[in-house]
Amino acid sequence: MIVFNKKPFIIADISINLFEFANRERISAMESAKFLIDEAQSCGVDAVMFQSYDAENIISRDADAYKDLDVDSPNFYFDSVGDYDKFGAGEFKELASYCKEIGMLFLSTPHDKESADYLDEFMDIYKISSSDLTNIPFIEHVARKNKPIVLSTGGATLAEIKNAVRAIEDVSTCDIVLMHSILSFPTEYEDANLLMIKDLEQNFPDYEIGYSDHTRPDKNMMVLTTAFNYGATVIEKHFTFDKSLEGIDSDYAMDADDVIAFKRNVLFLSKISGRKNKQPLICESLTRREIRKSIVANTDIKKGDVIKESDITFKRPGTGISPSQAGEVIGKMAVRDISKDTLIKFEMLK
């Protein structure tokens, strides 16, 4: 199952940072979104991601429901999430059209059925967030649209992931991408657990595997590079124009320079990875002959002498008979005199 034909396929999530940037620059949210789309495209990003929802549809105001959570009040939680639900069907349709115009893939993660339904008109691939991994009715609703699904697996057990995949496959034939992710914002490096990418690959060999990253961008972008090297062919990360913005995800968002550094690493990995099957390379040809060894006379050998093991040794270069063929030389008769330290040839023997 291949959803994205490019490896790695880079997705920039600009969903929250677009509002923070708009506020700082005193421009409209739509202007900010298009500016960030352009910025993402300029550094080689393949798709931009948004979040589609109405806070009223996804957050309960029941105070008792939050008593065991580290939240001051349900209203505080509602208000903080509601700050970023300013776009609706019309705005996302405009952004999807703009992305199509400039050759960028538009993606948005619906968090409620209404959003999933209006996105269907102008979006070709769905993203389901980790928050909905166990929301089987919602997963089935999205899957029935029979479009490819990118499924985040943050905070999930293998059993929960399998259950979600089964729910998709029970109602759809769509392709699925499974994204390793950690539900910690920001994710500390020691919590990234990138080896889980390999675990997903082993448990779901028929699916494309990706990584949704929430770590702070490291100087050399080794987190994303390692994820790709471990098998994550789809890379998703929050994206910003300016990492000094004080948004809730600016701390772990990448910028254009980070994307360029990651892509440079990927090119280097491709350069050094080469072919899989072990075999001699053209660049090794001369050195191979120079430093390998051949069968050499260890003493003066007279015509008619039968070659004994003590009559031969092994020295560079490797242009004569290989030491691996010593058994084909010992016991043969010399047909001419062979001086000590001479490379022995088969034509010297019978």
**Per-position DSSP letters for 246-283, written without gaps between them:** --TTGGG-B-HHHHHHHHHHHHHHHHHH--SS----GG
Give the whole-angstrom CA distance, residue 163 versus residue 135.
10
Does one domain contain both 201 and 295? no
Give the whole-angstrom CA distance, residue 314 versus residue 318.
9
Query: pLDDT band at 79, cuts 50/70/90?
Result: low
Domain that holds residue 294: 282-348
Query: pLDDT band at 128, cuts 50/70/90?
Result: very high
Q: What pLDDT score does 85 carry?
A: 74
The Cβ-side half-sphere exposure at 324, using a 13 Å CA radius, reads 3
Domain annotation covers residue 54:
yes
Question: Has residue 71 got a pLDDT over 70?
Answer: no
Does one domain contain both 318 and 248? no
Domain end, chosen from 273, 308, 337, is at: 273
Chain position carrying tokens 């979104």:
33
CATH assignment at residue 338:
3.90.1210.10
CA dist 256 → 167, 259, 261, 313 (Å): 37, 5, 9, 61
138-180 pLDDT per residue, tens: 999 999 999 999 999 999 999 999 999 999 999 999 999 999 9
Which candidate, 248, 238, 245, places its Cα nearest to that of 23?
245
Q: Over range 39-54, report the average pLDDT.
A: 96
Does one domain contain both 175 and 300? no
Does one domain contain both 159 and 187? yes
Does one domain contain both 249 and 289? no
Give the whole-angstrom CA distance, residue 87 versus residue 297.
85
Domain annotation covers residue 1:
no
282-307 pLDDT per residue, tens: 999 999 999 999 999 999 999 999 99
Question: Has residue 77 got a pLDDT over 70?
Answer: no
- pTM exceeds 0.85 for this model: yes
Q: Over range 99-106, report the average pLDDT.
A: 98
Q: Over range 182-196, report the average pLDDT.
A: 97
Query: pLDDT band at 54, cuts 50/70/90?
Result: confident
Report yes or no: 332 and 305 within 8 Å, Cβ to Cβ.
no
Q: What pLDDT score does 30 carry?
A: 97
Does one domain contain both 184 and 309? no
Domain end, chosen from 273, 294, 313, is at: 273
Q: Look at the alpha carbons of 189, 191, 195, 198 in this order and tell me if their dihedral is positive or negative.
A: negative
Please tell me the total count of domains within the chain.
Answer: 2
Q: Over range 198-221, report the average pLDDT.
A: 97
Residues, the chain, total?
350
Under the phi-then-psi rule, with left for phi > 0, alpha for psi from -120 to 50, and beta for the rest, what region is 304?
left
Does one domain contain both 220 and 293? no
Q: What pLDDT score does 203 carry?
A: 98
Q: What pLDDT score does 49 carry?
A: 98
Does one domain contain both 222 and 256? yes
Which candidate, 249, 259, 302, places its Cα nearest to that of 19?
249
Q: What pLDDT score does 245 carry?
A: 85
In what helix (H) or strand (E) does residue 52 lie, and over which residues does it extend? strand 47-52
CATH assignment at residue 176:
3.20.20.70
Does one domain contain both 15 and 99? yes
Q: What pLDDT score does 64 carry?
A: 60
Q: What pLDDT score does 129 carry?
A: 97
Domain annotation covers residue 321:
yes
| Proportion of the chain in helix, strand, coil states, percent, rounded to 5 | 40, 15, 40
H helices of 51-157, in order, are 55-58, 74-82, 89-102, 113-119, 136-143
Does one domain contain both 334 and 252? no
